[in-house]
Structure 1
Amino acid sequence: MNDLKQFQNGVNEDGEVVIPFIGGLTYPVRQIDGHIKGFLWLTFVAALFNVVISSFLGRNFLCGLGIEGPGFYCSANVLALGGSVLAFIGGLAWYINRWYSISESGGEIVYKLNLKDVKTVGFILFYLGLWAVAGWAAYSLNIRKPVEDWREELLFFFVFTMIILAVFVLLVNSVLFIRFLQGKKWLNLRCSFWPVFDNLYKILGWFLFYFLVFAYFFRSVTVFWVQNEWFPFWVNSLAGEFCFYFVIYASVAVFISSLAYQAKYIFGNRRQK
């Protein structure tokens, strides 16, 4: 009975957090299915917003493929590029907060922007910055020419390796994002590091599965709207842009639900405040 109770609480007899693999794999789908109307409407609104902005600024996804035609234009302006990126990040923050609210808390969709959306933009930029730092450190190690002084060489390698490892730890512990969305103290690696490490193969398995699924959808959307000859070019460009963003936001919804499932086991069992 005690073993069964511990298993149901997500903790084994050694006190380790055990996250069910099948439950974690299907949880995002179950959340979308249970909130299908809210999911479809929320994703539609977010995708439509980005279509309007990107088309207005001349940053349609077909532009990135070097495809131009009548009915819309492409812009290489740096300000247009920056505006489209900021609009996407802002839309992403808006979408994440609403999806988490309706899927995990049963809340209603609030269209008006708020302070939490601004903070979420900052959090997203922070994580993007981590990826940039990791990439910069790895690139620096790759292009650097060895020096004769082995102590200088060892020090350089050690410092940049530590930077990469520190960033990797934060990136792997993305479940901390849920703590942020809950308005709680999020930088709590002491509670999340070992549970995430113990279940890392499951988390990577979920990520790989959904990565392959959405990569297929991305490819299908791109190929269909690029090769489609049934509609005018401007229709293909707008419809393709909408489908492109719809798939992006759907993948974000899956990712957030997956993190929420991990958080239930990692932080729920520890009764974090």
Structure 2
Amino acid sequence: MSELAKWVPEGVDEEVPSAARLYDYLLGGAHNFAADRALAEKFLTALPSARDVARLNRAFLRRAVVFMAEQSVRQFLDIGSGIPTVGNVHEIAQAADPQARVVYVDYESVAVAHSQLLLEGNANATILQADLTQPAAILQHPETRRLLDFDRPIGLIMAGVFHFVPREADAPAIIAGYRDALAPGSHLALSHFTADISPEEMAGVVEVMKRSADPIHTRTHAEVTELFTGFELVEPGVVGTALWRSDRPEQAADEPGGSQIYAGVGRKP
């Protein structure tokens, strides 16, 4: 089987761009199609700092996983995990503890296929193809139950994915479906596009993404904060990705694109 055939599952329509493959392109990855790259260029026209936005979101993910590992979290459920790239959750978590367990979830078939290749031979990590708006199906999946112990803290990760959930889907209720299954001491790490800072640019992004399989729905600071209902926000609360426990706090405020996505981590008491 050719390398291309391994990561392009049968039935994938290469003419319909997806957010996972667009994100992969913005991060410098190679698992994307011409339609994804063409849409990404329009995305960059609407939001010139898009590559920085993607990089900073990825950096937030790393810092959040490191933080949770420091809180003795050793199991992770990464919802909307996307196409693997440098610094995947299992790599970060298993660097802290080789026995750390990770369940990835994505509904995009290329992301799932490439993740399966990456995880071959790793008994403590797996990938499910599922819809994040159906918590019960993910939480009760045999692979989830095989790897994760719901009597112990779990790190629930929703980095850069909930802005694909439309308003009519009741985002807080969806997150509650996950939250209620988690043990005390569990954490939620979440990041989300906003139009609070640059409404015109984000209006352009929303328009561009209407041409993909994954339209974007921005939310305000108050709406993103509401998604942490039932969790105690850790410092510094819900802030731009660049500002969340930055490795370089003296430069964080000046990072291009550092406030286009809100980010935060909460702990379930």
How would you bin the TM-score normalised by the shorter chain? under 0.3
More strand by share: 2
More helix by share: 1
Normalised by the size of structure 1, how large is the TM-score? 0.25
Tell me which structure has the larger Cα radius of gyration. 1
